[in-house]
Amino acid sequence: MSTSRFAEQLNTQIGNEFAAHHQYVAIAVHYDALTMPAMAAYFYQQAIEERGHAMMMVRFLVDTDREVTIPGTEPPESRFDDIVAPLALALAQEKRVTTQIHELTRIARDEHDFAAEQFMQWFIKEQVEEVAAMNDLLTVVTRAKDDIQYIEGYAAARPSADDPTAPTPAGA
């Protein structure tokens, strides 16, 4: 098995993706406890997507004969003062992940690792979508924070579709 700076950082990113998974589960539980099933479902689905991202990265490392390490994660934030705070946290998390994805892509490019650079392109596209969706959701919930039914209707109407261009996750 070979190691590279890209592989080391991708292993770190696997931990970041699992941490995002845990954070989204915690946010989903918050909304579930508030009897907001559409918001809870949205974040349970987001958690599944983040886990999927980690598993895509695992698959890439395995397929390219690189060492896989699964880092531990810090406990997620699970107490929120209101219905807006989890979304502000989620948007900040998506922006942070975008920066991490861009850095991974830069490392792949610097190492002339064309397979890794190509692999990262899907994640760049995904992060544009994730930041935009979370920004929209934060805007709607901030505006309508006193109208739970409107928020629930908006969350329930959010489209969710599998992306056939997504990398294959490990175990799929």
Instruction: List, for residues 75-131, the tens digit of each pLDDT value.
Output: 999 999 999 999 999 999 999 999 999 999 999 999 999 999 999 999 999 999 999
For the chain, what is the domain count? 1
Show the domain range for 83: 5-157
66 or 3, higher pLDDT: 66
Q: Closest Cα to residue 22, out of 42, 47, 1, 54?
A: 47
Q: Quick one: pLDDT at residue 76?
A: 97
Q: Is 170 inside any structural domain?
A: no
Q: Is 67 inside any structural domain?
A: yes
Residue 1 has pLDDT above 60, yes or no: no
Q: Is 171 inside any structural domain?
A: no
CA dihedral for 151, 162, 89, 24, sign (positive or negative): positive
Q: Is 141 inside any structural domain?
A: yes
Residue 26 has pLDDT above 80, yes or no: yes
Task: Work out the burial of residue 133: count CB atoms within 10 Å of its CB; fewer than 13 is exposed, 13-18 middle, 19 or more buried.
Answer: middle
Task: Work out the burial of residue 29: count CB atoms within 10 Å of its CB; fewer than 13 is exposed, 13-18 middle, 19 or more buried.
Answer: middle
Per-residue pLDDT band for 160 (boundaries 50, 70, 90) equals: confident
Residue 47 has pLDDT above 70, yes or no: yes
* Residue 121 backbone dihedrals phi, psi, to 5 degrees: -60, -40
Q: Is 57 inside any structural domain?
A: yes
CATH code of the domain in which 146 resides: 1.20.1260.10
Question: What is the b/e burial string over 88-110, where b = at least 16 CB atoms within 10 angstroms of the residue's CB?
Answer: ebbbebbeebbebbeebbebbee
Q: What is the mean pLDDT of residues 32-53?
A: 97
Rounded CA-CA distance 39/71 in Å is 29
Q: Is 115 inside any structural domain?
A: yes
Q: Quick one: pLDDT at residue 2?
A: 58
Task: Work out the burial of residue 33: count CB atoms within 10 Å of its CB; fewer than 13 is exposed, 13-18 middle, 19 or more buried.
Answer: exposed
Q: Is 168 inside any structural domain?
A: no
Residue 153 has pLDDT above 80, yes or no: yes
pLDDT above 70 coverage of the chain, percent:
99
2: helix, coil or strand? strand
Q: Which residues does 102 contact at the CB level (< 8 Å), separation at least 6?
A: 124
CB 123 within 8 A of CB 52: no
Residue 52 has pLDDT above 70, yes or no: yes
Q: What is the mean pLDDT of residues 154-171?
A: 86
Rounded CA-CA distance 154/163 in Å is 22
